[in-house]
Amino acid sequence: MLKRHARAACTALAAAGLLLAGTGGATADSAPAAPSAAATLRTADAPPELLAAMQRDLGLTPTQAKARLAHEAEAGATAARLRDRLGAAFAGAWVDGADAGTLTVATTRAADTAAIRATGARAKLVTRSLAGLDADRAALDRAAGRATPVRYVDPRSNTVVVEETEPGAAAALLAATGTDAARVTVVRTAEAPRPLYDLRGGDAYYMNGSGRCSVGFPVTKGSTNGFATAGHCGRAGTTTSGFNQVAQGSFQASVFPGNDMAWVAANAQWTATPYVKGSGGANVQVTGSVLQPVGASVCRSGSTTGWHCGTIQQHGTSVTYPEGTISGVTRTTVCAEPGDSGGSYISGSQAQGVTSGGSGNCSSGGTTFFQPLNPILSAYGLILKVTGSDPGPGPGPGEPEPGGTWRAGTVYAAGATVTHGGATYRCVQGHQAQTGWEPPNVPALWQRV
């Protein structure tokens, strides 16, 4: 964590988008092709500030930056759908190339490789499933200490990576847990993650008039405005003031360690907006919270160092801070410094998570971790403030029922309508549907009309 004084939960929504539809036009006898994930998520409308930061921090050309956002949307869709199809054999997915044009999907079952290649992805046959490696990581988490501060599943190497700050620390951890060393890659590091402790995403706020953190993403809960942020920034009841030192609100709930998530309810003087503070202070619009895959670009906004970009390295990472272990965070190459804690991570227009902690700085570079946003929304029943999230009134009397049947694997934009269980629902924030997230089960995503 990265903290000025210091102190979130669960799993993330599946990564973005639909498979790119075929290039042929619809005929008189065929239904119109479904929009691609890139079209649904409107990657072509990415703000100039986002593209400029990607060019600066990722070394991209303008064309590569635009192509990367589109490719990442399609790759995320393909990876999510293949994960559902492959089941227990799924072993992870990642993108490569300056424009993220190559998606690789790993499986433990040789019979799956043809189906993977049929989607346009590369297939990699490995010996260990993602679920199996996750179980190994979880066992290591229970015994890890400060000398092995970071542990994560690396799909590229098909191993669990354990970072150690002292020689032999990882070996001792493996021995204590009975973990097969062949399933683990040990990496020596001198970095020790710490909390970045210190209603637009990335703006500063102050806790009890002293320590500073950063707003993650503005949200609403009923008629209450507020924002999601890091749990280590404050406990329930901690009062906050805004970037202008005006009284702002208070923490309603907070989890840390274990996870690193919290939300703050603001008073009537503050209104949630669908923006993150981008390069030069420009507003970057938020249109949904579709999680992106390993290798995808991601940018961060914080009140200390502003706007910086990098790539997603691993999801489902566990980190042991001095205050305890947190699990389910995402590891990135984005830099951050104290006071950036709680701030926004965004890919294109899709909210990803809030800054938890890391190591290094924005002068020499570093590694940071973010708490995925969707678990925060789900745990506290929050609605992400997004552009275009107000779909207007439902159908009038006698009008035909809109939409169609809800389906797992489909990307839904804010305002889309579906039917499920005989009722009609309207999407309130963009996401890719997955089994278990049926409309009646996730009021943060669907509103009954």
Indicate which residues carry an active-site annotation: 232, 260, 341
Q: What is the β-pairing status of strands 194-195 and 350-361?
A: antiparallel
Report helix, strand and coil shares of the chain as percent, to nearest 5. Answer: 20, 35, 45
Nearest Cα neighbor of 449 from 410, 415, 412 is 415
Nearest Cα neighbor of 160 from 145, 140, 189, 176 is 140
Sign of CA dihedral 137, 138, 142, 146: positive
- Cα–Cα distance for residue pair 448/425, rounded to 1 Å: 4
Contact 49, 282 (CB under 8 A): yes
Nearest Cα neighbor of 45 from 413, 293, 308 is 413
**DSSP, res 3:** -
- Cα–Cα distance for residue pair 335/326, rounded to 1 Å: 19
SS3 state of residue 232: helix
The pair of structure tokens assigned to 82 is: 């293949």
Q: Is the peptide bond before 257 cis (omega within 30 degrees of 0)?
A: yes
Nearest Cα neighbor of 284 from 106, 4, 54 is 54
Q: Which helix (H) or strand (E) holds 86?
A: helix 62-86
- Cα–Cα distance for residue pair 170/147, rounded to 1 Å: 8
